Amino acid sequence: MFKRPLNISVMKKVSTPEVLVLEAVEPIKANKRNKMGLFDFLTQEIAIDLGTANTLIIHNDKVVVDEPSIVAIDRTNGKVLAVGKQAMMMHGKTHENIKTIRPLKDGVIADFDAAEHMIRGMIKMINPNRRFFQPSLKMVICIPSGITEVEKRAVRDSAEHAGAKEVYLIHEPMAAAIGIGIDVEEPMGNMIIDIGGGTSEIAVIALGGIVCDQSIRVAGDGFTSDIWDYMRRQHNILIGERSAEMIKIEVGSALPELDNAPNDYAVHGRDLMTGIPKEITVSYSEIAHALDKSISKIEEAILKALEMTPPELSADIYRTGIYLTGGGALLRGLDKRIAMKTKLPVHVAEDPLRAVVRGTGIALKNIDRFKFLIP
């Protein structure tokens, strides 16, 4: 009798006890995953670059908040009137019932309550339409490398008061290195200089840690006050903080001679002799002269950090050069000046203002992998 060959494709699968167990486990796992997906909206993961001058927040891989670190408060009842850009527009123009506060000074929290109001106000900017339901927050916040335990505690407490359930901290030079695409876990030395608003952080990074660092409180705000002081002494004109900041942005320079020089800038202020408003024009070479002392302090700190570097890492830095990040990296001619002082190649990051927050955002996605995060 002719027997038809077995069709392998239609053979019934025999379930062994192990297969049955696996088959039973799979739906449970899938069910768990679905539940996790269901409750994902209950937790909001955000990365914050809490800066002296600007605060940036990353949510879902996008920079959703980029605002000046300032709050406006009503003196009569203590209510917050404005946060960020709106408060900055009021800065220096307020009457006695309104005060503007910059909660951070020299990279650390100086006014605890104002910092809490500011963080809370900026988190609300992520979802302006969400009023009733507030998700629990998981945050990664960057801090200066030269911060004390008390200052670290202030950052953590402010974040927790603003609604954070989990808070992780990361040092700014480490975040900046990750943000510009350096593999920080490699056995390779890299030097990062992050010139922010309140502090300049200089660090040598290798194997996922900071080998040696210098943190000095000379940075963007110091440059602004240098310009304010120079205008007062040299031109007998009193200008506001915002005007000094605009001079720094428009004609700020680290070198008295530049290849592509900016045009002279018109400055308005109050004449100290007559008390009448007046206008003067300033050139970039004048501002370079005004900023000279502060930039020299940063150069000294860079040389000090290089002196402390182990020789093997010094050899790596000679090959890779120095990376500049932060708002201070945008100062004209600063890279050339540092290169002349150290005789090393200096690279300015692509988007230096956002390098730190980008790195903090990457750290947020790799909380389990990155051991250098401070829980």
| Same domain as 340, residue 195 | yes
Q: What is the pLDDT at residue 8?
A: 39
Of the chain, the percentage scoring pLDDT greater than 70 comes to 88
Among candidate residues 353, 2, 308, the one with its CA nearest the CA of residue 194:
353
At 135, is the pLDDT very low, low, confident or very high (cuts 50, 70, 90)?
confident
Q: What is the pLDDT at residue 1?
A: 46
Q: What is the pLDDT at residue 333?
A: 94
| Same domain as 98, residue 245 | no
Tokens 């876990």 identify what position? 185
| Same domain as 97, residue 133 | yes
**Alpha carbon 102 to its chain's center:** 16
DSSP H/E element including 55? strand 54-59
| Same domain as 169, residue 88 | yes
| Same domain as 157, residue 239 | no
| Same domain as 228, residue 110 | no
**Is residue 32 domain-resident?**
no
Q: 107 phi and psi, to 5 degrees?
A: 80, -5
Domain stops at, among 253, 269, 290: 290
How far apart CA 98 and CA 73 sit, in angstroms, is 6
With 90 as the cut, is the pLDDT of residue 238 above it?
yes
**Is residue 90 domain-resident?**
yes
Mean pLDDT in residue range 266-284 = 95
Domain stops at, among 241, 272, 290: 290
Domain stops at, among 290, 311, 333: 290
Mean pLDDT in residue range 248-267 = 93
Q: What is the pLDDT at residue 188?
A: 94
Mean pLDDT in residue range 347-353 = 93
Q: What is the pLDDT at residue 106?
A: 86
Work out how many domains the chain is built from and give that number: 3
With 70 as the cut, is the pLDDT of residue 201 above it?
yes
Q: What is the pLDDT at residue 375?
A: 79
**Is residue 22 domain-resident?**
no
Q: What is the pLDDT at residue 137?
A: 86
Q: What is the pLDDT at residue 281?
A: 95
Q: 294 phi and psi, to 5 degrees?
A: -65, -40
Q: What is the pLDDT at residue 44?
A: 85
Domain containing residue 233: CATH number: 3.90.640.10
Among candidate residues 279, 180, 294, the one with its CA nearest the CA of residue 229:
294
At 370, is the pLDDT very low, low, confident or very high (cuts 50, 70, 90)?
confident
| Same domain as 105, residue 205 | no
Domain boundaries, position 284: 220-290
332: left (phi over 0), alpha (psi -120 to 50) or beta: beta
Burial class (CB in 10 A: 0-12, 13-18, 19+), 200: buried
| Same domain as 302, residue 260 | no
Mean pLDDT in residue range 277-298 = 95
Among candidate residues 329, 334, 333, 335, the one with its CA nearest the CA of residue 353:
329
Query: What token pair was written down for 244?
Result: 């000094």
The residue type of 7 is: N
Domain containing residue 342: CATH number: 3.30.420.40
How far apart CA 370 and CA 214 sit, in angstroms, is 23
| Same domain as 274, residue 163 | no
With 90 as the cut, is the pLDDT of residue 136 above it?
no
SS3 of residue 195 by DSSP: strand
**Is residue 126 domain-resident?**
yes
| Same domain as 196, residue 345 | yes
**CB neighbour burial string for 331-362, b if at least 16 within 10 angstroms, e if fewer:** bbbbbebbeebbebebeebeebbbbbbbbbbb
**Is residue 19 domain-resident?**
no
| Same domain as 209, residue 117 | no
| Same domain as 154, residue 85 | yes
Mean pLDDT in residue range 342-360 = 94
Q: What is the pLDDT at residue 37?
A: 47
Q: Model's pTM, two decimal places?
A: 0.83
With 70 as the cut, is the pLDDT of residue 59 above it?
yes
How far apart CA 346 and CA 367 sit, in angstroms, is 30
With 50 as the cut, is the pLDDT of residue 35 above it?
no
Are 214 and 274 in contact by the 8 Å Cβ rule? The answer is: no
Mean pLDDT in residue range 122-143 = 80
How far apart CA 39 and CA 41 sit, in angstroms, is 5
**Is residue 28 domain-resident?**
no
* Average pLDDT score, the chain: 86
**Is residue 371 domain-resident?**
no
**CB neighbour burial string for 33-51, b if at least 16 within 10 angstroms, e if fewer:** eeeeeeeeeeebbbbbbbb
Q: What is the pLDDT at residue 169?
A: 94
